[in-house]
Amino acid sequence: MEAGLANYIELISNTGFPIVISLYLLNRMEKKLDSLVHAINQLCESYTIANKL
């Protein structure tokens, strides 16, 4: 955990606080979008199977 924190502190000192926050939020959003895409794909598969019955 300390190594990750040191990396964030180094990023903040090199690029600035707003840029680091933006990158952090984009990374979190990407993970959530990936899980949303996965859930939608599962829903489509379930719908296709249900329509075949």
pLDDT at position 26, please?
Answer: 92
Which structural domain range is residue 10 located in? 2-52
pLDDT in tens, 8-51: 788 888 888 888 888 889 989 999 999 999 999 999 999 999 99
Backbone angles phi, psi at 16, to 5 degrees: 110, 150
* Residue 15 structure tokens: 């690029």
**Model pLDDT, residue 1:** 52
Nearest to 20 by CA among 6, 29, 8, 31: 8
User: What integer pLDDT is reported at residue 29 of this predicted model?
Assistant: 95
Residue 7: φ, ψ to 5°: -65, -40
**Torsion of Cα atoms, 30 then 48 then 50 then 36, to 10°:** 0
What total of structural domains would you count in the chain? Answer: 1
Residue among 2, 22, 20 at smallest CA distance from 11? 20
